[in-house]
């Protein structure tokens, strides 16, 4: 039975070590997502979440209209002329996407959810369902 005490001590030590070295996630910026038309209907929110050395974009959609194709999350640069895809959104459930601090520092702070067609064209469709700016 001495080995059991050793295993228990190891488990407790690892748990304590993980708690000390792994800080709690911190929301650093928030974007309220709304339609891009004049109505500005609420469509959820996006949060920039920092945990340790990592950075996540947490997208929490709400009331997105159903339709053909799939939903894609983009980050647009504040100049409005550049954008990068961060991933596909699976319905109305919250999802996390890994982003880099460099991307945010370069001005990619506008979160866009768009409807994309299954057409082998990787560029943005122009069919934005929701948009918001981190920190605004």
Higher-confidence residue of 132 and 5: namely 132
Q: What is the pTM of this model?
A: 0.81
Per-residue tokens: 26: 């911190």
Q: Convert the pLDDT of each residue in 18-70 to its tens digit.
A: 445 556 899 999 999 999 999 999 999 999 999 888 999 999 999 999 999 99
Q: Residue 3 and residue 121: Cα distance in Å, rounded?
A: 59
Q: Convert the pLDDT of each residue in 94-113 to its tens digit.
A: 999 999 999 999 999 999 99
Q: Which residues pair with 114 in a beta bridge?
A: 72, 128
Q: Residue 26 and residue 49: Cα distance in Å, rounded?
A: 5
3-class DSSP state for residue 103? helix
3-class DSSP state for residue 58? strand
Tell me, what's the pLDDT at 13? Answer: 52
């Amino acid at each position: 039975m001495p080995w059991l005490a050793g295993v228990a001590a190891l488990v407790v030590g690892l748990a304590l070590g993980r708690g000390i070295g792994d800080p709690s996630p911190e929301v650093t910026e928030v974007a309220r997502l709304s339609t891009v038309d004049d109505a500005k209907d609420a469509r959820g929110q996006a949060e920039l979440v920092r945990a340790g050395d990592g950075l996540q974009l947490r997208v929490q959609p709400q009331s997105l209209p159903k339709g053909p194709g799939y939903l894609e999350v983009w980050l647009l640069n504040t100049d409005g002329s550049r954008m990068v895809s961060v991933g596909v959104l699976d319905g109305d459930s919250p999802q996390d996407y890994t982003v880099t601090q460099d991307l945010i520092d370069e001005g990619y702070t506008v979160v866009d959810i768009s409807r994309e067609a299954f057409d082998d064209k990787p560029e943005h469709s122009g069919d934005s369902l929701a948009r918001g700016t981190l920190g605004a």
